[in-house]
Each structure stands twice: as C-alpha cells, then as structure tokens.
Structure 1
Amino acid sequence: MPYEWISPPQSTPQKMRLWPHNSLPARGMAAFVLTTFTLISIPVLPLLGSPILWGLLPFTLAAVWGMYWALQRNYKSRQISEELVLDETLARLTRINPKGDVQEWDCDRYWTKVTKYEDEGPVPNYVTLRGKGREVEIGAFLSEEERIALFEDLERVLRR
C-alpha cells in the first residue's frame, strides 16, 4: 500500500508517509524503451542500404524518443510525497510537490476532522483533513480502495 505508519500507533508522535504507486521502476522503463526500439526497428531492417531508410529513420527515432519523454514526464509527475505527523496536541501535514515546493498545514489535533467525499470531490472517495479554518486534501494520488483504507485509519487514530 502506498502509505505506511512510520512510527507505531501507540507511540508519540505518530508519523504516516504517503506516496504515489510506482508500477514501472527505472529498470523496467529502460527495458520497455529498448523493447519498443527493437520492435519498431524490425520493419526498418529490410530497408538497410536503400535511400528510403533515411526517410523513415527520423520518424522511427522520434517515436522512440516520444515514448521515452512521456515515461520520464510521468515519472517526474509522480514525485509527490506527503507526511502526516500527529503528536499529543498537533496534527501537521507536509506535502512535497514534483517541482520541489513544500505545502504545510497544521491544526490542533483535538479539532482535526477527517472527511470523505464519496462523490463530491475531484476523485471518488476524496479524503480531506479540516481544521483551523482550512480543508486540505490528503492522499489524492492514491487509488480508490487505498483512500477508503486511509480514511478508516485516520478516523481510528484521530478518535483516540
């Protein structure tokens, strides 16, 4: 699951780290790009030595480069992490976005409320934390089932 409690639930402070699911690691991406290049090159091989090859080669290389660029951009956009720290008196959520900017939210733990919007949010089962006059999302990059589990975990921990 792309979130975990870093510290045990009984300890203080309690820390949770959240991150997007990464289904394609760097080695898998390299293998995919190499396989794509190989499969795209097969129809071009009979054209070796002919002038038509030079007409098709830029499009073949552009297709491979486009695939690589799209995968790299997707990988960089998934460089999000969130950390929720719950101590005896304070709840603090820190989010590091893909570009490196940091967003922080904190509230008195007693007044922190977890809300799940089943249909009203930008994604199904949208989970937010509310307090101190603000409402912030948490785990919007998680899958629907993971957001449901996250809501139940947060509700259980904040009730204590």
Structure 2
Amino acid sequence: MPYRWTDTAGNPAPEPSGQAPGTADQVHLWPYRSLPRTGFVFFIAATVVMVSIPLLSLLGRPELWWILLFIAIAVAGVWWAISHSYRTGEVREVLSFRGAELHLIRHEPDQTARDWVANPHWVRAELHPSGGPVPDYLTLRGGARVVELGAFLTPEERRKLHRELQARLDLARAPAAP
C-alpha cells in the first residue's frame, strides 16, 4: 500500500484503538510505482538484447550503423520517458500528529515543500465521493483552508485512509485522562 503509519521514530505505529492518547503518529504517502527501479534496469537490458539479436545478421555491413543509430535513439527515448515518469512521481506527503498540532508537508518533485498546520481538534477529514478531481477525493479542512491528501492513491486506498485518519483524529480530540 502506498502509505504507511509510523511513530515519530519511524517504527510501525499501533492500531488507533490500542493507542495511548497523545502518542505522536505520522502517515507517509507516496504514489504507487508498478515498475520498480530494478525492473526498469531489467526492462532496458532485455530491450537492448532483443533488439540486438536481429542485428547479428547485419554484422560487417554498412547498414548496421544506420539501424544501430535508430535503435539507440529508440532505447534512449524509452529510458528518458521512464526516468521522467519517476522524477515527476517523486511526490511525498507526510501528515504528523504532534500533540495539539496536525502538520502536513507535501514534498513536490522539484524539491519544494508546502506546509499546512492546524489544531486536530478542529480538523475534519472529508471524503468527497464525487465532484473532486478524482473519485473519493480526500481533503482535510482546518480553519479557512482545505488541503487535499493522497490524490494519487486509488479510491479504495483513500477510503481506507479516511477511516484510519478519522479514528486518529477522534483520539486526538479525546480529553486527556486525569
């Protein structure tokens, strides 16, 4: 799943029902990648090998260099396209519960970061089944500002995240035990 709940030390966080009030939690969100980096290397290597096999019949002929040039351009184009997809998909979102503060940081592919801070007592997690840019659009409303969360997740993942986030917000709103 392209998100993970952790405690502040980076360890997997307990379920919301078994969590002590005031425990700091974080959820890290990232886009799903169907082709991991190792798969990318394997794909490029397999493409070069499969394209090179027919070239064996042209060894020693001048036509080999012209065809090799076009094959190199095609492989370089595929390499660039997949690498560009990786770079643009380097979005990270980190939502942290820090006592009386809810802090969302969105790290963009160009290395800029956008912050949002609110009091969890007043924050509402809203799931919009329709009307958003994606189905089951998940937003956080705190004060006058509304921010999106996990727009790159699947609708099922956004629904599950909404339930988990709602449980943690309920815990953050619970009065402290004397």
Shorter-chain TM-score bucket reads over 0.9
Instruction: Give TM-score, length-normalised by structure 1.
Output: 0.92
The corresponding residue for 2:154 is 143
Partner Cα separation in structure 2 for residue 30 and residue 63 of structure 1: 16
Matches within 5 A, 1:69-108: 69-108=80-119
Partner Cα separation in structure 2 for residue 117 and residue 43 of structure 1: 53
The corresponding residue for 1:116 is 127
The corresponding residue for 1:59 is 70
Instruction: Give the CA deviation at 1:130.
Output: 0.8
Partner Cα separation in structure 2 for residue 115 and residue 66 of structure 1: 41
Instruction: Give the CA deviation at 1:111.
Output: 1.0
Letter in 1 for 2:34: S
Q: Does 1:6 align with 2:6?
A: yes
Partner Cα separation in structure 2 for residue 123 and residue 20 of structure 1: 14
Instruction: Give the CA deviation at 1:6.
Output: 0.5
Partner Cα separation in structure 2 for residue 21 and residue 35 of structure 1: 23
How large is the RMSD of aligned CA atoms in angstroms? 1.4
Partner Cα separation in structure 2 for residue 111 and residue 99 of structure 1: 31
User: Structure 2: which 5+ runs fail to align?
Assistant: 8-12, 172-178
Letter in 1 for 2:116: W
Equivalent in 35, 39, 52 of residue 46 of structure 2: 35
Partner Cα separation in structure 1 for residue 39 and residue 134 of structure 2: 28
Instruction: Give the CA deviation at 1:156.
Output: 1.8
Instruction: Give the CA deviation at 1:101.
Output: 0.2
Letter in 2 for 1:36: T
Is the partner of 1:111 in helix, strand or coil?
A: coil
Partner Cα separation in structure 2 for residue 49 and residue 148 of structure 1: 61
Letter in 1 for 2:5: W
Is the partner of 2:121 in helix, strand or coil?
A: helix
Partner Cα separation in structure 1 for residue 4 and residue 38 of structure 2: 25
Letter in 1 for 2:26: K
Letter in 1 for 2:25: Q
Instruction: Give TM-score, length-normalised by structure 2.
Output: 0.84
Query: Moved runs in structure 1, 4+ residues, more than 6 A?
Result: none
Partner Cα separation in structure 2 for residue 69 and residue 113 of structure 1: 41
Is the partner of 1:53 in helix, strand or coil?
A: helix
